[in-house]
Amino acid sequence: MLSTGWGITLKLHNDELIKKLNLTAVKIRRHIIEMLYKAKSGHPGGSLSAVDAIVTLYFYHMRHNAKKPDDLDRDRFILSKGHAAPTLYAVLAECGYFDVKELKRLREINCMLQGHPVCQHIPGIEASTGSLGHGLSFANGVALAGKLDKKEYNVYVMLGDGETDEGQIWEAAAAASHYKLNNLTGLLDRNFLQIDGNTEDVLRLESVRERWSSFGWNVIEIDGHDIQQIIDALHEADERENQPTMIILITVKGKGVSFMENNVDFHGVPPNELEYKLAIRELDTLQRKLEGI
Amino acid sequence: MSKVMENPRSAYGETLVELGKKYPNLVVLDADLSKSTKTIMFAKRYPDRFFEMGIAEANMISTAAGLASCGKISFASTFAVFATGRVYDQIRMDIAYSNANVKIFATHGGISVGKDGASHQMIEDIALMRVLPNMVVFAPSDATQTRRIVERMATKYGPMYARVGRASAPLIYKKDDLKDIKIGKGITTKDGDDISIIACGTMVDYALDTRKLLSKEGIKARVIDMHTIKPIDKKLVLKCAKETNAMLTAEEHSVIGGLGSAVSEILAEKGCSCKFRRMGIQDMFCESGEPKDLFAKYGLSAYHIAKTAKELLK
């Protein structure tokens, strides 16, 4: 298993590393489908599009330790698009923050795993999210504290593209560049869909790249499902001086399950029994393909 | 004898500077109003720990929560109207629900803001903050009490909201008084056994004036300074209900959701039959004007409170 400890402890050949991360992403996608099927509610589309970046952060890039979730020197990840909670929960469980068995109880009464992330109750969750638009501001606070305390940690925050309709995002975007938060990296899950339809029809976002760069951010645009590109972008972001970086992840909503891909109907609707079985079968096939079986 | 005046805002600024020395993890945020909220005093002394957030209150509140998540004691300040209603969702999610160590200190609460008018006269903030789980709510009555409350806010963990007015206020307590002030424990400022006036914030001084007016007519009023509106001092409210038979609440706030509501909830649930009135803004927006004229027009002057007290005691 890939290390969830401090830094890259496994000296894997690059191809081997990418393969492991891709296989981990499939595992997380399977968790997501199982969790949402069991919970009979939740958001498959935006959870699946976010998987590869979050997997790369936790299983490769970030310095963190599941046994010490409150370590003052840890890198932080904030899921501003809180409805992708299943992805984060599955990743945290696989990292060892809590028992994988908990995942099956998502959204149940008397269960730790709430419909949206909540801090101080779930190990590894940094911020309570679910009301969109807050996470970047929160991340700014964490990044400012890091500067103040002369800590080396980095702060990563994932935003939904639809989420950037919120005005607070742009308040925070201005503040992050004003305070030269080079220890802050945003990851924009640019899957082009939000509940009411295409982001460009609901409230035009383009040109996303120009928006962020005009706010003083370093902007990198990549394929958000290409692990190698994600790794390279994260390294580039960490080395930036004097400004925050926004990595625009060009993604596919529902990625990994053919009938959910680019299908807005699966924004907030869980799979039924047939869809569940089909989805798991597709993911099994994907896994075998990656394993070269 | 003329009253000694001091501005609670200045007391806040001065106390922040003192606390900043004592607590290196104390940080302060403001939204382009640091000259008015007096956080500028802290900014000048501790520029590294002061964060000017511009006219972007939502970002300020969530950023304060992010700082708190890293062990900071975050004080965030702006006018009460912008510090609560404008950022309710941010406070709800990032501070109250997250049980974050963020202290919102609001100035310019109530109608004593005066000439700026209803847009700036915040009369719903106590209600908005009181309803949030985990949130502690204060309305200090003078500069001295402001100092002590701000000290308590810094030392006790958790989400807290405090509001003071814009104007200088008469000193009710001497500068070094109230060393033993406790969160959630009201102060019997003056005793009396005919009627209890439970007041908070600026209205405590008005209640004391009311007491003088009433005493000329042989009515002995007890004045309670209820600086903490949540958690409220239930025991003291019930004690007053038992001992004085009539009760008034006085607040520079809507009668809905604030101190008056909190007290009436206690009385109703205990089945207290004491005569009771809520003095405050009667479910309306006010207007521009001199504070004293506004207090007179909207029924918050000592004269009005005394009149209501007498009617209640008939």
Q: What is the pLDDT along chain B (314 residues), one digit of tens a residue?
A: 689 999 999 999 999 999 999 999 999 999 999 999 999 999 999 999 999 999 999 999 999 999 999 999 999 999 999 999 999 999 999 999 999 999 999 999 999 999 999 999 999 999 999 999 999 999 999 999 999 999 999 999 999 999 999 999 999 999 889 999 999 999 999 999 999 999 999 999 999 999 999 999 999 999 999 999 999 999 999 999 999 989 999 999 999 999 999 999 999 999 998 999 999 999 999 999 999 999 999 999 999 999 999 999 99
pLDDT band for A55, please (50, 70, 90 cuts): very high
User: Do B155 and B194 belong to one domain?
Assistant: no
Is the pLDDT at A5 greater than 70? The verdict is no
Determine the residue of chain A that is closest to B56 in CA distance. A171
Mean pLDDT of chain A: 95
Pair B250, B307 in one domain: yes
Size of interface A-B (CB pairs under 8 A): 104
Residue A6 in domain: no
User: Is residue B12 domain-shared with residue B142, that is, in the same domain?
Assistant: yes
Chain A residues with beta carbon closer than 8 angstroms to that of B67: 141-142, 144-145
Among B26, B49, B63, most A C-beta atoms within 10 A, so best to mutate, is B63
- Residue B187 backbone dihedrals phi, psi, to 5 degrees: -115, 125
- Domain residues for B238? 187-313
B36 and B115 belong to one structural domain: yes
Dig out the tokens for B120 from the structure.
Answer: 């700036």
Is pLDDT of A10 > 60? no
What pLDDT does A13 receive?
76
Assign residue B214 the CATH number of its domain. 3.40.50.920
Choice among B6, B57, B251, B252 that is catalytic = B57
Give CA torsion, residues B274, B275, B278, B279, to 10 deg.
-130
Residue B151 lies in a domain: yes
pLDDT category of residue A293 using cuts at 50, 70 and 90:
confident
| Distance between CA atoms of residues B272 and B274, nearest Å | 6
pLDDT given for residue A9 in this prediction: 53
Q: Is residue A95 part of a domain?
A: yes
Q: How far is A40 from chain B (nearest CA, A)?
A: 25
CA distance A132 to chain B (A): 10
C-alpha–C-alpha distance, residues A169 and A147, integer Å: 21
Cβ–Cβ below 8 Å for B63 and A126: no
CATH no. for residue A276?
3.40.50.970
pLDDT digits (tens, 9 = 90+) for A211-267: 999 999 999 999 999 999 999 999 999 999 999 999 999 999 999 999 999 999 999
Q: Are the beta carbons of B68 and A141 separated by less than 8 Å?
A: yes
- Full domain range(s) for residue A44: 14-291
- Angstroms from A116 CA to nearest CA on chain B: 11
Best residue in A128, A136, A154 for a mutation probing chain B (most B CBs within 10 Å): A128
| Residue of B61, B69, B74 with shortest CB distance to A127 | B69
> Does B52 fall in a domain?
yes
Judge if B148 and B268 occupy the same domain: no
For residues B166 and B18, membership in a common domain is answered with: yes
| B265 among known catalytic residues | no
To test the contact with chain A by mutation, choose from B23, B25, B62, B78 the residue with the greatest count of A C-beta atoms within 10 A, namely B62
Do the domain assignments include residue A1?
Answer: no
Min Cα distance B125 → chain A (Å) is 21
3-state DSSP call for residue A134? Answer: coil
* In-domain check, residue A205: yes
Residue A36 lies in a domain: yes
Helix (H) or strand (E) holding A190: strand A184-190
The count of domains in chain B is 2
Count of domains forming chain A: 1
Same domain, B66 and B140: yes
CATH code, domain with B151: 3.40.50.970
Using the beta-carbon criterion (under 8 Å), do A141 and B71 form an inter-chain contact?
no
ipTM (interface predicted TM): 0.96
Nearest CA in chain A to B95: A128
Q: Which of A239, A258, A242, A289 is nearest to A44 (CA)?
A: A258
β-strand pairing of A245-250 with A184-190: parallel
Q: For residues B13 and B141, state if they share a domain.
A: yes
Q: Which of chain B's residues have a Cβ under 8 Å away from the Cβ of A146?
A: 70
Query: Does A171 contact B66 at a Cβ distance shorter than 8 Å?
Result: no
